[in-house]
Amino acid sequence: MTKREQRRFVRDLLMNIQRDIRDAIRTNGIPRSWNGIELREYIAEKADRARATHALVGHGRGTIATSSRSARAYEKTLLERNRP
């Protein structure tokens, strides 16, 4: 995937999540009483549901299946970039 394709993918995914949330607000799918705490949780859940359910995703919620080559490369990249 080129850098341009990556940017387009991220833009489209986030725009879809934003559209869904704004629609939920407009149609009263989200209570008026919700503040930043509930909205942050809702956004996180929407993003979690938008995850790919193949290749890197394991059976447990939030787990990475390390049996695939791409999953191991993904884990390695994250570990290297997050070193102090």
Tens digits of per-residue pLDDT, 25-77?
999 999 999 999 999 999 999 998 888 665 555 544 455 555 677 777 877 88
Q: How many residues does the chain have?
A: 84
What is the C-alpha to C-alpha distance for residues 59 and 37, in angstroms, rounded to an integer?
28
- Tell whether pTM > 0.75: no
Phi, psi of 24 (to 5 degrees): -65, -40
What pLDDT, on a 0 to 100 scale, did the predictor assign at position 72? 78
- Domain ranges across the chain: 1-50, 52-84
